[in-house]
A and B are shown apart, each in its own frame.
Chain A
Amino acid sequence: MEIPREKLRWIYERMVLIRAFEDRVAQEFAAGKLPGFVHLYAGEEAIAVGVCAHLTDRDYITSTHRGHGHCIAKGVDVKAMMAELFGKATGVCKGKGGSMHIADVDKGMLGANGIVGGGPPIACGAGLMAKTLGTDQVAVCFLGDGAAEQGTTHEAMNLAAIWKLPVVFVCENNLYAESTPWTYHCAAPDIASRAAAYDMPGVLVDGTDVFAVYEAAGEAIARARRGEGPTLLECRAFRYYGHFQGDAVSYRTPEEEAAYRQRDPIQRFRETVLSQGLLSEDELDAIDAAVQHEISEAVRFAESSPLPPPEDCLTDVYVSYPVEQLAFRH
């Protein structure tokens, strides 16, 4: 598949931005500046970026607890994301959601999700909207290998199939659900073949190769836009950090982790575009520098932003509701 030069630049910039964002978040978390649970996407950049390269702001995605990469690939503002992680009023969710519930509906990003398996039915709903209103929008549902064992995932795949909804299920198989290997939690030899049970195409993709993801996702999304129904993609990749920040990762060996880096998605992209003369080294280095600057700016913005006023706890619960009944009783 021929990828326009501007798109290639965008793909590289987004992957590097995700990596830089996650590496910086890891530092800030270690420094005790971020509350709560943080799940990092480093190592899996090619999946979010290769898929979202085919989407516009009008298309929808649902995400997972590991959602920063999906946000960035979908074009959510990085400053507002960083501020959200810091719990600031300028955060993309005004400090109400944090890392695990980061979302931006205006960008078609229907939320990271604290509930494993929470996203697939919602993606069906977005697909149903497009089908009902006769638009050409699609919904992409990102889910983990662990989420593939949740009942909601199977119900959603069946529903999308019988209604021929414009939904693409992208299963990010990073080999583990927390400390549990996917070969233990999954009875099937691969997740993609489960698509057969719902009479939809199922494709196993190298999730560290952004070109492979781009191509597979392109076909699936085009099929969805044509009204031919859902597809299941299983993209295999590695998560570089622990399950969450603070995970001692005793279940992996140093050799296993070192092997991951041999297939680093960003490095692979660089090698491919340089060897084929598609982009120049200077160009890539300039993108790297711009990204570093953007991340520093995002952290500066987040740190200098105010915390939300405490009473904001009571806003946004409903569209309309008697305020005095939201507050405390006494």
Chain B
Amino acid sequence: MVVTTRVLSYRQAINEALRLEMRRDPTVILMGEDVAGGATIKHIEQEGAWGGPLGVTKSLVSEFGRQRVLDTPISEAAFIGAAVGAAVTGLRPVAELMFVDFFGVCMDQIFNQGAKLRYMFGGKAKVPMVIRTMIGAGFGAAGQHSGCHYSVFAHMPGLKAVAPATPYDAKGLLIAAIRDDDPVMFFEHKMLYDMTGEVPEGDYVVPIGKADVKREGSDVTIVAISRMVHIALEAAKRLSGEGIEAEVVDLRSLSPLDEDAVLSSLAKTRRLVVVDEDNPRCSVAADIAALAVDKGFDYLDAPVKLVTAPHTPVPFSPSLERYYIPTPERVVAAVREIV
């Protein structure tokens, strides 16, 4: 079969995944603040206004109408809880939590309701919903609009969590997330929206729970998440100039975790650096390190190194924010310590 690919942005890839799944399955609905925008305003009732604050859901309302692309009041607890209720009773809602930092407002509906219902009901219910949410620093958006926080969700039984780093993975993982019968947190890095890459037409699935080797190498394994995959690749390029070949493993899924992919790379390189933009304490990065010492101890020839954000909120000033976000330089330095 010939698959046509074209170059799309990460933003367009997400939009396309939503469009294809909404065409395929009439139970898929979208809701969130200004996901269409301009509700009830005559001159834009049809095409919508914003399509999300950064235009990711733009024009979906023109094709699917306001019955299926729902602007919500600023009431996250109510509409994310409504997504849970709709999922339990037969829809496949995709709810947008505009910035992940806003989870504080609606966490009960995610954590005590969405994540636990199936278990507490003895397996008699399923909650096939997706929460799309923006993560990441680099925009100067400061303390309440810049966190990653996926570690919080990866920690919670009942939730799945994915964080694509490329347009290809974004589309395939979002389609997988919508078709999945469990609640899935879908983390979109705001600094990746304009990034472009080859994306096949038509639908395809990137399986949840499968990591991807984005660069092969034999001297050190760099495991990275979301935007940090690109930081790791840049570091790998520089290291290559010094004769060090790094293997870059893009985790893609944070829960479930592709333990085999991490361990088999480690078996090959015997050294591990983890690059994670989230805060370090009780984090996915720490979890990967634990995996390495627990199940990969015999492979390890050196200590595991973590390159993460500091244990601080995200600062506003560019000089402070640059310090906060892991850089290729820091990754290179961490690799040099153990190779």
Q: Which residues of A contact B (CB under 8 A)?
A: 35-37, 84, 87-89, 91, 93, 95-98, 100-101, 113-118, 146-147, 149-152, 177-181, 183-186, 250-251, 253, 307-314, 317, 325-330
Contact = CB atoms under 8 A, between A and B. Distances in A.
A87 B316 contact: yes
Nearest to B37: A179
B320 interface: yes
A310 B323 contact: yes
B37 A251 contact: yes
A36 B141 contact: yes
A118 B101 CA distance: 12
Contacts of B323: 310-311, 313
A313 B307 CA distance: 16
A96 B33 contact: no
Contacts of A179: 34, 37-38, 49-50
Contacts of A91: 317
A95 B139 contact: no
A173 to B, nearest CB: 14
Contacts of B305: 329-330
B321 to A, nearest CB: 8
29 contacts: A37-B140, A37-B145, A95-B316, A95-B319, A96-B143, A96-B316, A97-B143, A98-B317, A101-B143, A101-B316, A113-B144, A114-B141, A114-B144, A150-B74, A151-B77, A179-B34, A179-B38, A180-B73, A185-B74, A250-B38, A251-B37, A251-B38, A251-B41, A253-B43, A311-B323, A312-B315, A314-B312, A317-B312, A330-B273
A-B CB proximity, top 3 nearest: A35-B140, A114-B144, A98-B316
A116 B139 CA distance: 19
Contacts of B78: 151
A147 B320 contact: no
A62 B88 CA distance: 38
Nearest to A244: B53
Contact of B40 (A95, A184, A309): A184
A83 to B, nearest CB: 10
Interface of B: 33-34, 37-41, 43-44, 49-50, 53, 71-78, 101-102, 104-105, 139-145, 273, 280, 305-313, 315-324, 330, 333-334, 337
A88 B320 CA distance: 10
Contacts of A117: 74, 105
Contact of A100 (B145, B307, B311, B322): B145
B34 A330 contact: no
A183 B143 CA distance: 31
Given A36-B142, A317-B313, A330-B307, A309 B74 contact: no
Contact of A329 (B141, B280, B320): B280
Nearest to A187: B73
A114 B139 CA distance: 14
Contacts of A180: 33-34, 37-39, 71, 73
A100 B40 contact: no
A16 to B, nearest CB: 27
Contact of A184 (B71, B316, B321, B330): B71
Given A114-B101, A313-B312, A149 B75 contact: yes
B50 to A, nearest CB: 5
Given A180-B34, A250-B49, A326-B312, A114 B140 contact: no
A87 B139 CA distance: 13
A96 B319 CA distance: 10
Given A35-B316, A95-B317, 13 more contacts: A36-B142, A84-B316, A88-B317, A95-B316, A96-B317, A98-B316, A98-B317, A118-B144, A149-B73, A150-B74, A180-B39, A311-B323, A329-B305
B38 A313 contact: no
Contact of B319 (A146, A150, A178, A307): A307
Nearest to B289: A329
Contacts of B39: 180-181, 184
A59 B238 CA distance: 56
A146 B39 CA distance: 14
Contacts of A96: 142-143, 315-317, 320
Nearest to A84: B316
B74 A116 contact: yes
A177 B74 contact: yes
A178 B34 contact: yes
Contacts of A151: 75, 77-78, 105
